Structure 1
Amino acid sequence: MELRPYQEKARRRVEEEWKDGRAKTLLVLPTGTGKTIVFSAITKDAVMAGRHVLILAHRGELLEQAADKLQKATGLASSLEKAGSSCLDSWYMVTVGSVQTLMRQNRLDKFPRDYFQTIIIDEAHHAISTSYQNILQYFDKAQVLGVTATPDRSDMKDLGEFFDSIAYEYSLPSAIRDGYLTPIKAQTIPLKLDISKVTISAGDFKASDIDTALDPYLEQIAAEMKGYCKGRKTVIFLPLVSTSKKFTELLQSHGFRAAEVNGESKDRAQILADFDSGKYDVLCNSMLLTEGWDCPSVDCIVILRPTKSRGLYSQMVGRGTRLFPGKKELLLLDFLWLTGRHELCRPAHLLAKGDELAAAMTRRIEDAVVPLDLEEVEKKASEDVIREREEALAEKLALMKKRKRKLVDPLQFEMSIQAEDLSSYVPSFGWELEPPSDKQKKDLEKYGIFPDEIQSAGKASQILGRLHKRAYEGLSTPKQIRFLESRGFQHVGMWQFESAKKLINRIAFNGWRTPRDIDPASYQPEKKEG
């Protein structure tokens, strides 16, 4: 088994986290980038070290896939802990376990509490549920790895209460750029779907309400799809099984070779095989295919089950991101959802790090009449956001001048050094959500940053880390940035410390007036030699 570079890095980082004492860590990999291969390699390392490994999953298909891929990738066979089968009767070091079986106390009591030294959770966003926690709390000395696709912020806040760290994260844009996943093009269909009266249940849109709201539009959607899905292999996600069946019939009446699968389908395996082979060109389902099903030839995704969860949205889109011969891109069809006061995931959220960028991307996609490559949209929308921020910053700086503040506003610092990661930072783990500590505030002031507008310890830690790094690299200080940018010089945060110091000395020797031969708006310091 030869791992790709990012897979090898992920494997190493997870094992380093465990070695450093962070016993419960997360691995974030987009759908289609081989998460099973990575945790199979980690499993093999654990077995070589003499450790018993438990791989947990909540569905029979996932258990079978994990066992099959583990054996193909590493040669390791595994025992099964499910219903009448038990690993206690086996000599295998690896167990693939059903959560529904192991969660029962009478089943757990059969095991010594230290029986498993390593536990791997596929689809780790389920790990915070009571059933998983019963198992994890019983084997509380085990090292735990949770594997998930890109989770949304609410998931991360919840996961952060159990997991100690994120060992490694490989982003969807990186996977596309590196050629491991197919590019995504988004197309907004100009059909307004009003779901403003849909209620929220358990943090997401209630499926039955979506079904009721969606029903009047199904005929129009089927008609619109004729122009977009021709010649493509399409998967459609719908809120309920009844809607999935109804929409399948509508698509058939519009000339599509459409099929439907659900949890009760007796011929489900045959339907999936027929879709894979090309007998059908459209497959409808009600959230059945979000996990544990691969069909790399899928090149169109239609999501008619709107969601607030970025993790769930990523899983649905992930059914079409795998590479396949002759496949140029994945077409992701979107609609003009009218949501009232609620936000929902749109194509932009697959790449955007913050809501501001996602909104700018969505505007560009909606205004276009042709499918747009998401990476290109992200680049152009980033320029829009930077321009808007600079305009807002100019207004804020005008107010700041009146206050004659000695310290630098953190927003000015972030904009000057062009730190998109700092601007879009969102705290995830518990300690990151706490207010900045007194020591952090003191250290920020020492560097010249005004701490009162930094709301969290996580953000303070990020800024301090960047300041330490900049000092090591010999880049300009916050106070240099504030002074020179107040004189009209641009993006001083990208300058070397010595360049800024040299210019400030010139201004000082000139009676604190900018020399006449220098135009602040166009001035660029000399590049550092070597």
Structure 2
Amino acid sequence: MQETVFELQDKKTDKELYSYQQGAIQQIFNKFDSEREDYHLLYQLPTGGGKTVIFSEIVRQYLKNHSKKVLVMTHRIELCNQTSEMLTNFGVVNKVVNSKANLDDQERYSCYVAMVETLNNRLNDDQLDISDVGLVIIDEAHYNSFTKLFKFFENSFVLGVTATPLSSNKDLPMNKNYDELIPGESIENLIENDFLARAEVFHYDMGLTSLEVGSNGDYTVKSSADLYTSPAMLNKLLEAYSKHSKGKKTLIFNNGIETSIQVYHTFKAVGLPIMHLDNTATKKQRKQILRWFRETPDAILTSVSILTTGFDEPTIDTIILNRATKSLTLYYQMIGRGSRVLNNKSKFTVIDLGNNLYRFGPWGADLDWGAIFKSPNFYMDRIRDDEDIESDFKLDLSEEVKAEFKNSKETYFDIKETYETATFAGESSKVVLERSIAQHAHMCIENSEDVYDAIALAKLLKEDIDNRIHVYGKCISKSTYNFLSWLKDDYQKKLNAYLRENFDTVFEDIHGHPPED
């Protein structure tokens, strides 16, 4: 670990600043001194870099040198309490403005910590005097919920802090609310200096074109549940965990409660130590589950997106993205939960089951946050869509299924290329599936002693058939759920019929003699 080069003075705390944190504070105070009093400054620092430490020291120094007050805003109650505790550790006496807070003694405090919705209500009801607030700090500033409060602080210096200065709403870019961005230390530099652990990523090529995008710009919970609660996807998740993370502390992110519950039952059924957590849990339940997760070395916690911010558990070894997202912020937040260093932990595992790596690039890639802040739409428009991503996939049999077809030299069949060749030759698109069925049948027969063996093997091809049908549906521009479901059933029936009618002939072609009776 890099040595500490600057120790905080004049306060009762054991917190220390590292060189990059000290440099950030200096940059921010330079802006505070040189810019107008209502300047809006945004500071970016990766998850795990110590944003709360930095702005807590900023509050301490500000209050020491100015006669005005400070307000810190968060978007969740857990963050509110954690921030208040950190400020207290820095010797800053603060008042938490929550729904139960008595504000009769507010003039005694020079620092307030408030959750955005509660603060909005208190300000609209004139219950909190903010006339002498000179500095407003906004934690997780990329959330759009804060924008409605800016009208109350027209004479205050606003400092927003975030790991990802990119709004999920194209109509509300962050450069509309902030004058300037100061990018902090990169993830790669933090890893190189032992402040963060390095991610070892295992990603799977996933067929996601059935997912639908909602009004918030991300995939809908319903379409995600339809896909990720299917037996094939639950099995893929279990296989991926068993291969890359068996016995390690694992946090699974899902899009929706139903999916997380199905994941819980799937893992529980095979005797794995797993618990489920979502936002319907009581405070007591949440506390008990998180304590169990912290204290159990091989614990698996399946959750929805509630643990993306304000949750620090350095003992996590594996993050599983059992979902797709179109949000760069969410992508970085989810993976960041595993990046905390602890003792000799220098790396952690990420299992991506949502093509997120293809969509955003590797976590920790050298993103130009300054350019993204200035031209967010340019960046957003360049994010690859699922069809484009999947057009590069060569979807073949899984290793487990391929082992059952060891006599087959080639198991891959290029539907797209076969379609293009057929249509160029003026043939009907139906010949594509006919040729695919013939190839599947050949694979089954060359690995079987009789027709019953071949039909049994054909059942193992379900996932491969699904993949081929999806590609075929795109080729003919017909991909409704009902049509594809019918095609898959029809394909399986025709494959079985082909095997019954042609087994002897194909077997003799392969082996040079008819099958033994």
Q: Which TM-score band (shorter chain)?
A: 0.5 to 0.7
Find the counterpart in structure 2 of residue 134 from structure 1: 148
Q: Pick from 67, 80, 88: which aligns with 2:84? A: 67
Residue 348 of structure 2 corresponds to residue 330 of structure 1: yes
**What are the residue-to-residue correspondences of 1:292-303 with 2, within 5 Å?**
292-303=310-321
Residue 279 of structure 2 corresponds to residue 263 of structure 1: yes
Find the counterpart in structure 2 of residue 278 from structure 1: 296
Tell me, in whole angstroms, the C-alpha distance in 1 between the residues paired with 2:91 and 2:241.
45
Shift of 1:10: 0.9
Tell me, in whole angstroms, the C-alpha distance in 2 between the residues paired with 1:93 and 1:153.
31
Q: Match of 2:344, SS?
A: coil
Residue 201 of structure 2 corresponds to residue 186 of structure 1: yes
Gaps of 5+ in 1: 368-530
**What are the residue-to-residue correspondences of 1:113-128 with 2, within 5 Å?**
114-126=131-143, 128=144
Shift of 1:261: 1.0
Find the counterpart in structure 1 of residue 237 from structure 2: 221
Find the counterpart in structure 1 of residue 112 from structure 2: 95
TM-score when scaled to structure 2? 0.63
Q: Which letter maps to 1:12?
A: Q
- Residues 175-204 of structure 1 deviation map (CA, whole Å, 9 limit, x = unaligned): 111211011111123x53334442243122
Q: Which letter maps to 1:71?
A: T
- Residues 2-52 of structure 1 deviation map (CA, whole Å, 9 limit, x = unaligned): 311111111111111122215110111111111100000001112112221
Tell me, in whole angstroms, the C-alpha distance in 1 between the residues paired with 2:242 and 2:307.
23
Shift of 1:77: 2.0
- Residues 46-84 of structure 1 deviation map (CA, whole Å, 9 limit, x = unaligned): 211222111111221111100011111x11121121213
Gaps of 5+ in 2: 1-7, 9-15, 369-378, 395-517
Residue 31 of structure 2 corresponds to residue 17 of structure 1: yes
Find the counterpart in structure 2 of residue 174 from structure 1: 189
- Is contact 2:321-2:351 (8 Å) kept? yes
Q: Which letter maps to 2:252?
A: I
Q: Which letter maps to 2:203?
A: T
Q: Using a 3 Å threshold, how does the CA distance of structure 1 residues 320 and 78 change in structure 2: closer, same or farther? A: same
- Is contact 2:79-2:310 (8 Å) kept? yes
Q: Which letter maps to 1:221?
A: L
Tell me, in whole angstroms, the C-alpha distance in 2 between the residues paired with 1:142 and 1:164.
13
Q: Pick from 207, 231, 238: which aligns with 2:221? A: 207
Find the counterpart in structure 1 of residue 399 from structure 2: none
- Is contact 2:324-2:354 (8 Å) kept? no
**What are the residue-to-residue correspondences of 1:104-503 with 2, within 5 Å?**
104=121, 107=124, 109-112=126-129, 114-126=131-143, 128-129=144-145, 132-152=146-166, 158-189=173-204, 192-216=206-230, 217-266=233-282, 267-278=285-296, 281-335=299-353, 337=355, 345-346=359-360, 348=362, 350-353=364-367
Tell me, in whole angstroms, the C-alpha distance in 2 between the residues paired with 1:344 and 1:239.
18
Find the counterpart in structure 1 of residue 18 from structure 2: 4
Tell me, in whole angstroms, the C-alpha distance in 2 between the residues paired with 1:208 and 1:345.
21
Q: Match of 1:117, SS?
A: strand
- Residues 368-401 of structure 1 deviation map (CA, whole Å, 9 limit, x = unaligned): xxxxxxxxxxxxxxxxxxxxxxxxxxxxxxxxxx
Q: Match of 1:268, SS?
A: helix
- Residues 417-468 of structure 1 deviation map (CA, whole Å, 9 limit, x = unaligned): xxxxxxxxxxxxxxxxxxxxxxxxxxxxxxxxxxxxxxxxxxxxxxxxxxxx
Find the counterpart in structure 1 of residue 73 from structure 2: 56
Q: Using a 3 Å threshold, how does the CA distance of structure 1 residues 204 and 344 change in structure 2: closer, same or farther? A: farther
Tell me, in whole angstroms, the C-alpha distance in 1 between the residues paired with 2:196 and 2:33.
31
Find the counterpart in structure 2 of residue 386 from structure 1: none
Q: Using a 3 Å threshold, how does the CA distance of structure 1 residues 81 and 238 change in structure 2: closer, same or farther? A: same
Shift of 1:118: 0.8
Give the length in aligned residue pairs: 355
Q: Which letter maps to 2:320?
A: V
Tell me, in whole angstroms, the C-alpha distance in 1 between the residues paired with 2:227 and 2:191.
35
Find the counterpart in structure 2 of residue 390 from structure 1: none
The worse-fitting range, judged by mean Cα deviation, of 321-330 and 25-34 is: 321-330
Shift of 1:134: 3.2
Tell me, in whole angstroms, the C-alpha distance in 2 between the residues paired with 1:335 and 1:247.
13
Q: Using a 3 Å threshold, how does the CA distance of structure 1 residues 87 and 305 change in structure 2: closer, same or farther? A: farther
Q: Using a 3 Å threshold, how does the CA distance of structure 1 residues 16 and 106 change in structure 2: closer, same or farther? A: closer
Residue 96 of structure 2 corresponds to residue 80 of structure 1: yes
Shift of 1:139: 1.9
Shift of 1:223: 2.7
Tell me, in whole angstroms, the C-alpha distance in 2 between the residues paired with 1:47 and 1:293.
28
Q: Match of 2:353, SS?
A: strand
Q: Which letter maps to 1:234?
A: T
Q: Using a 3 Å threshold, how does the CA distance of structure 1 residues 10 and 137 change in structure 2: closer, same or farther? A: same
Q: Match of 1:225, SS?
A: helix
- Residues 468-514 of structure 1 deviation map (CA, whole Å, 9 limit, x = unaligned): xxxxxxxxxxxxxxxxxxxxxxxxxxxxxxxxxxxxxxxxxxxxxxx
Tell me, in whole angstroms, the C-alpha distance in 1 between the residues paired with 2:332 and 2:112.
28
Q: Which letter maps to 2:185?
A: Y
Q: Using a 3 Å threshold, how does the CA distance of structure 1 residues 152 and 348 change in structure 2: closer, same or farther? A: farther
- Provide the alpha-carbon RMSD of the alignment: 2.9
Q: Which letter maps to 2:117?
A: Q
Q: Using a 3 Å threshold, how does the CA distance of structure 1 residues 117 and 172 change in structure 2: closer, same or farther? A: same
Tell me, in whole angstroms, the C-alpha distance in 2 between the residues paired with 1:44 and 1:181.
26
Tell me, in whole angstroms, the C-alpha distance in 2 between the residues paired with 1:279 and 1:175.
26
Shift of 1:106: 5.8
Q: Which letter maps to 2:158?
A: V
Q: Using a 3 Å threshold, how does the CA distance of structure 1 residues 106 and 327 change in structure 2: closer, same or farther? A: closer
Tell me, in whole angstroms, the C-alpha distance in 1 between the residues paired with 2:128 and 2:358.
44
Q: Using a 3 Å threshold, how does the CA distance of structure 1 residues 211 and 173 change in structure 2: closer, same or farther? A: same
Q: Using a 3 Å threshold, how does the CA distance of structure 1 residues 344 and 160 change in structure 2: closer, same or farther? A: farther
